[in-house]
Structure 1
Amino acid sequence: MTRSLSFVHSRLRVSDLLEQHFDTAFAAPGGIARLRELILTLAMQGKLVEQDPNDPPASELLKEIEKEKASHEGTKTRRKEKLPPVKPEEVPYELPKGWEWVRLGDITDYNGRNNISGDEITPNTWLLDLEDIEKGTSRLLYRATFSERQSKSTKSTFQKGDVLYGKLRPYLDKVIVADSDGVCTTEIVPIVPFHGLNAEFLRWLLKRPAFLAHVNSLIYGVKMPRLGTDDAVMSVHPLPPFPEQHRIVARIDQLMVRCDALEKLRKERAEKRLAVHAAAIKQLLDPSLCAFAPSREENLSTLRAFVPSCDPFAFLDQHFGELYTVKENVAELRKAILQLAVMGRLVPQDPNDPPARELLKEIEKEKASHEGTKTRRKEKLPPVKSEEVPYQLPQGWEWVRFGEITINRDGERVPISKEDREKIKGEYDYYGASGVIDKVNDFIFDKSLLLIGEDGANLINRSTPIAFFAHGKYWVNNHAHVIDAHDYILLLWLEKYINAIDLKPYVTGSAQPKMNQAKMNSIAVALPPLPEQHRIVACIDQLMALCDILDQQIDAATGKQSELLDAVMALV
């Protein structure tokens, strides 16, 4: 009596906790998926619904199943061998009163239907393939007829009420109950439940986390991993009384519907948040908008320190806390900061700044002083054409070619032998095509220079910066351009600029796309006055530091949500 009461109290406590903490699962990363797993785990431990002492025990079901097996002697549904009883060491936990530990082969006829050749299948027969079942959810995605997928290969037949189990890559968790007769690929096993076993309950048994983990430890085959018949038949499962099976299935279905609704709501909210932010950023970057007027405060601590002069800024400011709770929006904010910078809309212009054309004159003088050396570029680059100009620049800025304002040091590379490379590995920073060590033809420099990757695939489909500012002694492979410039700040500005713009027009080749030196030199660059470059670079660094803080806050928040969910799961 005491044991029965403890199970009832446990069931009530679990039910209350599940009701109370759906919101916790909703907030935590991956929380809803974990909640689904918890529901199935609790269900198969007898903790999801209340036990009824009037239910006939599962031991009575097993007697009925034995009678059913005897009545089919000599047919495929009659399994001749007697399976060994479940050993104590195979039992993972204590079951409620009236439940029994059984083997799958005790309660089902695994692969219990006949096979059929392709020429025997009628055109309108339902033909089920693994691809028709969604992984994880086991939702039926498509119902094809044999006429759509005529095949000469042998198929398995199945009947309405059979449990269809995907034995190929079983970790994909594809299990459905057939709602009509049909045929299926032999990689799907028709499991025929004996009398007293609810087919839907069997489906959930095969989808529970403990069984998936067990299956993953047993699958064989590298390219086509699958579960063997003997391992499946010998697997151990909890069996409740038949009426309780129905109550468990009803409760699982009810809770899974709630999980579906939460998942849908979460997805809709995430999509809306991303879409709203994208729309605000798009409007923010519209060249037709009024120029952005930042506040006059010298020390910018947060983005809200800016005084909005256009609606997008007001919107972002008003909804800052809501929009920047996901890293996707922070990543877009980083891009927007760089875009505003290169358009001259991040910091105010100062009419006292010497215009960019004065800086160009200084650069020309410096280049003239190196005439005849490698750093002297003899060919004259064409001016930037009007059709190449994507937006109007502020007063004092100039459109120039990248090669006009930089010095290319690619020709000054000094190869390092493999032996020397091994000696200095780890001593100096290394830069590859995208800041990653992946090549062997390396060269050493001892200066602060700009490195720009030439790998076209990275330039087009990049998720990381393409231009890097390197300080001090470092080594670099021959898949990165090495750039010097008239001024240290100009190098920093060019780093921000290259990482902000679309480089697709400057990439050549299809099999091995790259940005060669000539294409790089032809890049149209928006050049601000040198003092404004200082202000822009400083502002970008401050705002990127803010983005770093936002990313850290998101990590901390999601970490706390996960910890809270862990604590709730432990209570249950």
Structure 2
Amino acid sequence: MTPEQLKASILQYAMEGKLVKQNLNDISAIQNLKEAREKIKEAIKNKELRKEKYTQAENNGKLPKNWGVARLKEICEKNNSSIKRGPFGSSITKSMFVPKGKDTYKVYEQGNAIRRDINYGSYYITKDKFESLSAFQVKTGDIIVSCAGTIGKTFILPPKIEPGIINQALLKLTLDTSIIDKKFFLLEFESISVQLNLHAKGSAIKNLASLKYLKNKVDFPLPPIEEQKRIVAKIEKLMPLVDEYAESYNRLQKIDNEFEDKLKQSVLQYAMEGKLVKQDPSDEPASELIKKIENEKAELVKEGKIKKSKKLHAITDDEKPFDIPDSWEWVSLGQIINLISGRDIPKKDHLNKEIKGSIPYITGASNIDKNGNINISEWVTNPTVVVNKGTILLSVKGTIGKISILDLAQAHIARQIMGIDNMFGIDKKYLQYYIESYVQQLQQKAKSIIPGISRDDLLLAILPLPPIKEQERIVIKLERLLSSINSLYL
């Protein structure tokens, strides 16, 4: 069970009346709820509260007998400003903001989520604007709820806040504390946050677009007020234990994930040292394969199909990190590949759907998932660096070391990607596994605030090259072993 699941279970127990014992001496919440409903009728009659149609909720027998089930307006103060969503975006815009000073009022904003202090919101409005939006004013003790992006986070406004209003991403609630404890309400709201997110609207940014669902469809189980306080006290004792559990859980998860990575790296290293499969004396040695590669590259240069690469230095014994079998050879990666550097295309030329004459645009590591699959979300009609099916793709900027073999006919690659065009008779999968074994060293070479590696970081990397037949046997064995490791961690 994850820490999140454990916390959710505790909250669920609490909201079902199973966390603390009921006390028959507590004043029944049903009686409090009945009085709250009478207050609503009276407030409507006195024009203190707008008349709104809403459905009452009742205890269905699954909760303790002295519990009620309330709607949101029944547990809030009985006035029109006790439940208030921030003003529409057109009511308050950045053009209205002024520097902080005399007779200015703060605009409380959500940010990424409700923070655990009140020092958020750096915008201010004039006194006139504040007075025109005074219905959205917040005060000490109000509860604010996030309604966009991160939905359902709650916070009680502390003493001595700056006078101000909420923006459109927040909902303000003023609770009737004779019927519900504020801290209990925060716990209750946290327990329904998943439900709210399921009913949120929007694709890019989720938004609690309408309050109708929250007001009329969401049940708020209501224990007696004294039991609410006992529930809060119990959870406040339990949460530090949940936090301790989370630390242990996350530490074990980290160890588990690192073990999987280390196990895979060990298997890859074993393969690169020639210890994974037996050598076959009948295999043509790698020295002959290198001669064929050199001849083929020279012919392609002569035909103008590739550029002549600069001469690479001979590999010294000191550079060789381990011993390899006699039939193998050490080579620089630049000797056996054609390296293609990506190039960016202006954002204005990106397409969000495929059209005739366009090809996929691979912008960076975000296009490659953890299984090496390529996900395409953009296309271009003016490609400048085109790679073909079978090219090994490697992310080289930002996130270093994501790898995939292109399974599309063609694609344009941005500068965050390099393509390894293996046209010289090396097994592609063997080359991919070598790069995976070398990724940590590439990451160590990455420079600057945004990590990145150069062409030479790849071209000068040295690779243990087996005979081609042994490469194929290594790939078969590696795929079987890595598949077994993956199945252990599903």
Whether TM exceeds 0.5 here: the answer is yes
Q: What is the match of residue 172 of structure 2?
A: 190
Say whether residues 1:330 and 2:260 are aligned partners: yes
Aligned twin of 1:497: 434
- 1:105 CA drift (Å): 0.9
Tell me, in whole angstroms, the C-alpha distance in 2 between the residues paired with 1:382 and 1:220.
Answer: 56
* 1:164-199 Cα deviation digits (max 9, x unpaired): 222334x63211223324245233333222223211
1:248 corresponds to which letter in structure 2?
A: I
The alignment yields a C-alpha RMSD, in angstroms, of 5.6
**1:101-140 maps to which residues of 2 (within 5 A)?**
101-109=69-77, 111-112=81-82, 128-131=108-111, 133=113, 140=115
Q: Report the alpha carbon displacement of residue 352 of structure 1 after superposing the two structures with TM.
A: 12
Residues 32 and 450 of structure 1: CA distance in aligned 2, closer, same or farther (over 3 Å): same
2:223 partner amino acid: P
Structure 2 counterpart of 1:165: 145
1:542 correspondence with 2:477: yes
Letter of the structure 2 residue corresponding to residue 526 of structure 1: L
Partner AA of 2:311 in structure 1: P
Partner SS for 2:235: helix
Matches for 1:311-330 after TM superposition, within 5 Å: 325-326=256-257, 329-330=259-260
TM-score of the superposed pair, with normalisation by structure 1: 0.55
For the Cα contact (< 8 Å) 1:132–1:142, is it kept in 2? no
**Shift in CA distance, 207/407, structure 1 to aligned 2, threshold 3 Å:** closer
Number of the residue aligned with 2:159: 180
Match for 1:252 among 208, 226, 235?
235
Task: Report the equivalent of 2:32.
Answer: 61
Is contact 2:330-2:465 (8 Å) kept? Answer: no
Query: Against the structure 1 CA distance between its residues 267 and 407, is the aligned structure 2 distance closer, same or farther, given a 3 Å change threshold?
Result: closer
Which entry has the higher C-alpha Rg, 1 or 2?
1
Residues 258 and 454 of structure 1: CA distance in aligned 2, closer, same or farther (over 3 Å): closer
Flag the 1:375–1:389 CA change in 2: closer, same or farther, 3 A.
farther
- Which residue of 216, 220, 228 maps to 2:210? 228
Equivalent residue for 1:86, pick from 49, 53, 56: 56
Q: What is residue 382 of structure 1 aligned with on the other side?
A: 311
Amino acid of the structure 2 residue aligned with 1:497: Y
* 1:268 paired residue number: 251
Tell me which amino acid in the other structure corresponds to 2:56.
V
Report 1:381-530 matches (<5 A). 382-384=311-313, 391-392=320-321, 394=323, 398-401=329-332, 404=335, 436=374, 451-453=390-392, 461-466=400-405, 476-477=409-410, 483-485=422-424, 493-501=430-438, 525-528=462-465, 530=467
Q: Any conservation in 2 of the 1:384–1:400 contact (CA below 8 Å)?
A: no
The residue number in structure 1 matching 2:348 is none
Unaligned runs of 5+ in 1: 1-24, 26-30, 135-139, 274-324, 409-417, 420-433, 442-448, 469-474, 508-512, 556-572
Q: Deviations over 1:360-395 (max 9, x none)?
A: 456667889x79985998958513256999644637
The residue number in structure 2 matching 1:40 is: 11
Structure 1 residues 51 and 197, CA gap change in structure 2 (3 angstroms): same
Partner AA of 1:162 in structure 2? D
> Deviation digits for residues 102-161 of structure 1, max 9, x if unmatched?
221122037439999988987999975323855xxxxx4343277x65455748443443
3-state SS of the aligned residue for 1:101? strand
Deviation at 1:398, TM superposition (A): 4.5
Distance, in Å, in 1 between the alignment partners of 2:465 and 2:420 is 23
Aligned to 2:21: 50
Closer, same or farther: CA 174–460 of 1 in aligned 2, 3 Å: closer
The one-letter amino acid paired with 1:101 is: V
Aligned mates of 2:200, 2:337 — CA distance in 1? 61
CA distance 1:81–1:196, shift in 2 (3 Å) = same
Task: Judge conservation of contact 2:68–2:223 (CA < 8 Å) in 1.
Answer: yes
Q: SS where residue 265 of structure 1 aligns?
A: helix
1:243 to 187, 207, 226: 226
Partner of 2:347: none
Residue pair 2:264, 2:482 contacting (<8 A) in 1 also:
yes
Identify if the C-alpha distance between structure 1 residues 536 and 145 changes in structure 2 by more than 3 Å, giving closer, same or farther. Answer: closer
2:475 is the counterpart of 1:554: no
Alignment of 1:95 with 2:57, yes or no, is no
Percent identity among equivalent residues? 20
Q: 1:481 Cα shift?
A: 6.4
Higher helix proportion: 1
In the alignment, structure 2 segments of 5+ residues that lack a partner are 88-95, 340-354, 357-371, 382-387, 413-418, 447-451
Q: CA deviation at 1:268?
A: 3.0
Assess, with a 3 A threshold, how the Cα gap between structure 1 residues 64 and 265 changes in structure 2: closer, same or farther. same
Instruction: Name the CA distance, whole Å, in 2 between partners of 1:351 and 1:339.
Output: 22
